Amino acid sequence: MNGEFEPMIIAFCCNWCAYAAADLAGISRMQYPANIRVIRVMCLGRINPNFILKAFQLGADGILVSG
Amino acid sequence: MEKEEPRIGVFVCKCGNNIAGLLDVEALEEYSRTLPDVVFTQWNLYICSDAGLEEIKKGIKEQNLNRVVVASCTPRTHEPLFRSVCAEAGLNGYLFEMVNIRDQCSWVHAGYKEDAMVKARDLIRMGVAKAALLEPQEIITSNVAVRALVVGGGIAGLTAAISLADRGFPVILLEKEKELGGMLRSLYRLAPMDMDASEVIDKKIKEVQDNPNIDIYTGATIDKVKGFIGKFDVTFSANGTSKDVRLGVVIIATGAGNLVPEGMYQYDGHKVITQWELEEKLKAGKIDGNNVVMIQCVGARSAERKYCSRICCAIAIKNAILIKELNSEAKVCILYRDIMAYGVQNEDQLRKAKELGIRFVKYDPERPPVVNEDKVTVFHHLMGKEIDLPQDMVVLSTPLVASEEAEKVASLFRVSLDENKFFLEAHVKLRPIDCATDGIFICGSAHYPKDVRESILQALGAASRASIPLSQGEVKIEPIVTSLVNKDACRGCGLCVALCPYNALEIRDTDEGRKVNVITVACKGCGVCAATCYRHALSINSFTDDQMEAQIHSFLAA
């Protein structure tokens, strides 16, 4: 990655919207960098703030909560 | 249940070239073999093909797998298939986890081959970490009370009630007014087929009254609704008495209201009237004067009310034709923004109107027509100047607006309204008649402005959808729901009950004190309760804290 800073991003995505949108981005062949890991939930209501703190604690650079 | 050691099988799909075109699938398979608890791996050209599915079954049987991970496309389309294949091989379908390396990896990272490989490996590792912690789940079933509630006695409600009753299901029909019939009672002729409105509605009312399966309550109000699909407990009052009933399904057909254009275009209800008021004049066969100007989109497609009411153009065209038929000397001009004459018959009517000499003038909403004592002044687009149209009567086409009762009904049944307070469907294309809450269906203009044909069509559809749980006698529910995993931790505080959007939680007094009880059939598995419970007493099946944290951990701490 040319020694440049590349953030490690976790995205929590709702199955019914944001996750579907990420799939749609794929179907539409939209291109974006590969440093994001999506964790699927059935609804963002599931996201306990602890998950976010834990991810930061373990070294995540950014967290996207989308739903 | 005694925990057995996880024996995970990982199946990586090439999806022809869709995945293998970018990712080295064979290397991913090899990588999977190094992950904890993985005892078997395989790549396949198409896992979803019959041959690919057979391989999963073979793996489960021959390798004694107790967890299966498939790295391929999206769980949104293929999870049910793979789950059922696991079940066919004797493995509980909920011991399956899917990893998305196509839609969210190979398809979107074409220019980042190396990074995409890293990502695919991470995703597989995260999926395996979660899979190791999965627990088996059983499909939940619940009995259905064989009786339907139809709310609203207009054309949609009446049609739905007859359709359900004719299938042999008992129906309770509630109407807030003293009489059945709804909006059609005040209409004269119906566009576009020029039928007599009272003939249509009277026939339906008689059919409902003669049907032994339908109990009709007029002057009714709903006081309380509890429960969920199969077991809605509804309290309503009619004629001074209160009644409690249990129902399996609910159809909402509460209709719409009319916008009264107070303060617009000199509206006075006498010389400047609405199409609705014109219907009454036409019914009486008396139109004053020869010059009629109609203005479309009054109070619609504006900043305040953005939507198009759809049916007003057809109504204006129909009424303009009726005026011409009553008085061939009449000069009728329709001032419009866009003519909404969709479908086969409406377009025919538009053509007929033009042949009869009805004049159509387009106006610009930036320069709306101005109504004066005896004329309407409008800026004519093509001529590029203002023209004066003499008028003896101005008719304003106003939109249907949400019923005043909509908010109350929506909050009673816990269903959603859109920004204009019309009832919102679960999915605009895939589930256009269902509410997001199971067992509740919508039809007619409660949903959005509709003509009679469309209301009848949707009512038949709603009755058909509603009859599915009624005829099956039970409902099956995905077990991805909340469960009280730590009963001792629950103090019965009720925070989760207050926050649950689906009425799926209740506090019960038990021998061990106040504890939350999960009504699994009503639960949608959103997880608000689990995220809220500071005692960690509640969890969501297949999305537990441990499973979520295992995914985070295996990505970042590997």
Check if B527 contacts A (Cβ < 8 Å): yes
Rg (Cα) of chain A, in Å, rounded? Answer: 13
The DSSP annotation for A8-66 comes to: -EEEEEETTTHHHHHHHHHHTT----S-EEEEEES-GGG--HHHHHHHHHTT-SEEEEE
Tokens of A52: 């976010």
B386-419 pLDDT per residue, tens: 999 999 999 999 999 999 999 999 999 989 999 9
H helix intervals, B111-244: 113-132, 155-166, 197-210
B64-111 pLDDT per residue, tens: 999 999 999 999 999 999 999 999 999 999 999 999 999 999 999 999
* HSE-CB for B105 with a 13 A CA cutoff: 32
On the question of pLDDT at B466 being above 80, the answer is yes
- Identity of the residue in A32, A36, A46 whose CB atom sits nearest the CB atom of B530: A46
- Identity of the residue in B110, B122, B480 whose CB atom sits nearest the CB atom of A31: B110
B232-257 pLDDT per residue, tens: 999 999 989 999 999 999 999 999 99
Name which CATH class applies to B148-257+401-475: alpha beta
In chain B, what are the domain boundaries? 8-137, 148-257+401-475, 261-398, 479-541
**Structural contact between residues B446 and B422, judged by C-beta atoms closer than 8 angstroms:** yes
Cα–Cα distance list, B399 to B257, B285, B299, B305 (Å): 9, 24, 7, 9
Residue with tokens 């959103």: B526
- CA-nearest residue to A47 within chain B is B531
Spell out the residues 6+ positions from residue A14 whose beta carbon is closer than 8 angstroms to its own. Answer: A41, A42, A43, A44, A66, A67
Whether the model clears a pTM of 0.90, i.e. scores above it, the answer is no
Q: Mark yes or no for CB contact B557/A55 under 8 Å.
A: no
Alpha-carbon gap, residue A3 to A5, rounded angstroms? 7
* Domain B8-137 = CATH 3.40.50: yes
Alpha-carbon gap, residue B106 to B116, rounded angstroms? 7
B217: phi then psi, degrees, rounded to nearest 5: -125, 115
Residue with tokens 């303060």: B263
What pLDDT is recorded for position A2? Answer: 61
Size of interface A-B (CB pairs under 8 A): 116
Alpha-carbon gap, residue B196 to B351, rounded angstroms? 22
Closest chain A C-alpha to B526 CA, distance in angstroms: 5
Which residues of chain A make contact with B22, given a CB cutoff of 8 A?
Answer: none
- Identity of the residue in A10, A31, A41 whose CB atom sits nearest the CB atom of B111: A31
Of the candidates B533, B312, B551, B67, which has an alpha carbon nearest to the alpha carbon of residue A51?
A: B551
Residues 6-45, chain A: which have Cβ within 8 Å of B? 8, 10, 15, 19-20, 22-23, 25-27, 29-43, 45
- Identity of the residue in B108, B549, B551 whose CB atom sits nearest the CB atom of A31: B108
- Identity of the residue in A10, A26, A32 whose CB atom sits nearest the CB atom of B552: A10
B252-285 pLDDT per residue, tens: 999 999 999 999 999 999 999 999 999 999 999 8
- CA-nearest residue to A41 within chain B is B543
- Identity of the residue in A22, A37, A49 whose CB atom sits nearest the CB atom of B119: A37
Cα–Cα distance list, B434 to B396, B402, B423, B463, B501 (Å): 34, 18, 10, 11, 17
Within chain B, how many helices (H) and strands (E) appear? Answer: 14, 30
Check if B307 contacts A (Cβ < 8 Å): no
Partnered with residue B434 across adjacent β-strands are B441
Of the candidates B186, B389, B420, which has an alpha carbon nearest to the alpha carbon of residue B310?
A: B420
Q: Mark yes or no for CB contact A29/B107 under 8 Å.
A: yes
pLDDT band at B429 (very low <50, low <70, confident <90, very high): confident
Q: Mark yes or no for CB contact A51/B524 under 8 Å.
A: no
Q: Mark yes or no for CB contact A20/B107 under 8 Å.
A: no
Fold of B261-398: FAD/NAD(P)-binding domain (3.50.50)
Tokens of B490: 């629950």
- CA-nearest residue to B552 within chain A is A55
The one-letter amino acid at B225: V
Mean pLDDT of B307-320: 96
- Element housing B272 (H / E): strand B272-274
Check if B485 contacts A (Cβ < 8 Å): no
Q: Do domains B261-398 and B479-541 have the same CATH topology?
A: no
- If 0-12 CB within 10 Å is exposed, 13-18 middle and 19+ buried, where does residue B458 land? buried
Residues 109-148, chain B: which have Cβ within 8 Å of A? 109-112, 115-116, 118-119, 122-123, 126
Check if B367 contacts A (Cβ < 8 Å): no
Residues 41-60, chain A: which have Cβ within 8 Å of B? 41-43, 45-51, 54-55, 58-60
Alpha-carbon gap, residue B75 to B242, rounded angstroms? 48
Q: Mark yes or no for CB contact A46/B555 under 8 Å.
A: no
Which residues of chain B make contact with A23, given a CB cutoff of 8 A?
Answer: 74, 76, 100, 103-104
Count of other CB atoms within 10 angstroms of residue B537 = 22
B162-184 pLDDT per residue, tens: 999 999 999 999 999 999 999 99
On the question of pLDDT at A6 being above 90, the answer is no
Check if B552 contacts A (Cβ < 8 Å): yes
Cα–Cα distance list, B84 to A10, B90, B91, B92, B545 (Å): 30, 10, 9, 9, 25
Q: What's the distance, CA B178 to chain centroid?
A: 30
**Structural contact between residues B126 and B555, judged by C-beta atoms closer than 8 angstroms:** yes
Count of other CB atoms within 10 angstroms of residue B25 = 23
Mean pLDDT of B56-60: 97
Predicted complex ipTM: 0.96
Tokens of B186: 């005040």
* CATH number of the domain located at residue range(s) B479-541 in this protein: 3.30.70.3270
What whole-number percentage of chain B has pLDDT above 90?
90
Q: Mark yes or no for CB contact A34/B115 under 8 Å.
A: yes
- Identity of the residue in B526, B527, B557 whose CB atom sits nearest the CB atom of A58: B557
pLDDT band at B365 (very low <50, low <70, confident <90, very high): very high
